[in-house]
Amino acid sequence: MNLIKTLTMIPFLFFSLNVSSQNPDFVKMVEYATKAPSGHNTQPWIFKLTDSTIEIHPDFSKALPVVDGHHRELYISLGCALENLCIAANEFGYDAKTSIEVDDNSHSYIIAKLEKSRLQKNYLFDQIVKRQTNRSVYNNKLISSDTIKELERISMEEHIDFQFFDKNTHNFNVLMNLVAEGNTQQLNDKAFKKELLEWIRFNKKQVEATKDGLTYEVMGTPATPGFIGKPIVKSFLKPDKQNKTDMQKINSSSHLVLFTVEHNNPENWINLGRVLERILLETTRLGIANAYLNQPCEVESVAESVQNQLQLGNKKPALLLRIGYANPLPYSPRKEVYEVIE
């Protein structure tokens, strides 16, 4: 074995030694948790395992200070990971009792207490590995009102709400205009573009080295050396170009889905993540594609316009999806489980 191969094996060997003392079911649950979506695919989580608990902590080294200054999307991502973890726990014969705690640095984190039980398995388990964000142009097919009603029956969490908007309705068009307004503000902001470019992986070598970020494949662009790809992508990060493609993508979709919270705090964001993941898994089961258009929730002044123009009262816009029908795309990479267990 050559030296490089031996060196790349070291983290795995450490993990094998470390993991042999861990409950293998818990390790598998963490692996399913990491299949969750996260903003820019930063995978901002650290898992800590004991004999009877799995903790999910925020990894602020993966924070996105420009686009997500308050860590709302970071905590939503942790909520998605928690939902996957609880579904996987049921699959492996455990009941998960969850709570949100605050550490010595005043940062919120999650504890899932696991007990062997004979709970029914969750029908969404098989969808965890199938779910993906699909940024392509969809095929214009509309989702039936019966299917939307089925999605509306998903189990909810306190202080979280979501609403579907049918294509060509007044509020659908309001949201579309506010996506354009969000794009315009973000793409006139150098710091926003710099942060986004740092998370784009332009070729296979970069993907394999980091196992995170937005890959050329999921962005639908060809692989290029970074020094070529970066200026090309940068030249497309202009409000008019982005608005043109986003309007085409929205018009090819069937519905927009707006998620709101009553309070902007980590507990509400984590619970929103849980509900979001349920919707994403359920849409995956129904063969429905999804992608995010978070611009109007990310830019504070635009989020206020969403709240006022849609008359949301005290509900604060936190996340916007488009859904519809499309062919599947390549999957995003994930870190190995040993890289996210402390």
Ligand X SMILES: Cc1cc2nc3c(=O)[nH]c(=O)nc-3n(C[C@H](O)[C@H](O)[C@H](O)COP(=O)(O)O)c2cc1C
Which window, 113-121, 128-136, 142-150, 247-255, contacts ligand X (CB under 6 A)? 128-136
Alpha carbon distance 245, 243 (integer Å): 6
92 contributes a contact to ligand X by CB under 6 A: no
184 binds ligand X (CB under 6 A): no
- H helices of 133-203, in order, are 145-152, 170-187, 190-198
Residues touching ligand X, count (CB under 6 A): 17
Distance, in Å, from the CA atom of 305 to the CA atom of 297, rounded to the nearest integer, reads 10
Q: Choose between 71 and 315: whose C-beta lies nearer to ligand X.
A: 71
Q: Between the CA of residue 196 and those of 67, 133, 231, 299, 334, what are the distances in Å?
A: 9, 17, 13, 15, 18
Q: Can residue 73 be called a binding residue for ligand X (CB under 6 A)?
A: yes
Q: Return the H-helix or E-strand segment holding 7.
A: helix 3-19
Nearest approach, Cβ of residue 73 and ligand X (Å): 4
Using the rule CB under 6 A, give the single segment among 32-40, 46-54, 142-150, 176-184 that binds ligand X: 32-40
For ligand X, which is the closer residue by CB, 151 or 281? Answer: 281
Residues within window 273-292 making contact with ligand X, judged by CB under 6 A: 291-292
- Interaction between residue 317 and ligand X (CB under 6 A): no
Asked if residue 107 lies in contact with residue 58, where contact means CB atoms within 8 angstroms, the answer is yes
Q: 111 has which bridge partners?
A: 55, 99
**Nearer to ligand X among residue 76 and residue 341 (C-beta):** 76
* Minimum distance, C-beta of residue 85 to ligand X, in the bound complex (Å): 15
DSSP 3-state of 172: helix
Binding site for ligand X (CB under 6 A): 37-41, 73, 76-77, 80, 132-133, 135, 214, 291-292, 294, 332
